[in-house]
Amino acid sequence: MGLSKWGYLNDKGETVIPFAYDISGNEKIGAEYYTAEMLYLCHEGYIPVRQGEKWGIYNKNGEPVVPMQYEGISQVNDGKCFVKMDGKWGLLEVSELLNK
């Protein structure tokens, strides 16, 4: 794995999420043991991000919506995502966080 960082640009080419985040992980591709660095893409307007061992989620406007406190996180589907804390996975309702 390289030391490169990634961020997110809007359709105008403006940085909305700073280029300070690590890749999401490695994935085995095909029958070979080749791995590729993978990133989560924007889905339903949300982007999971990782810094070291901590995960969170930004919206497409660059606003943090899920704090950087989780050990793992999935992309948002139907307004929900899976989060890992203390070694256990649970379901998080992202829309509930936005209404607080």
Q: Please, which pLDDT band fits residue 35 given cuts at 50, 70 and 90? A: low
Residues 6+ apart with CB under 8 A from 95: 79
pLDDT on residue 2 = 53
- In this predicted structure, the answer to whether residue 9 has a pLDDT above a threshold of 70 is yes
Question: What is the pTM for the complete model shown?
Answer: 0.80
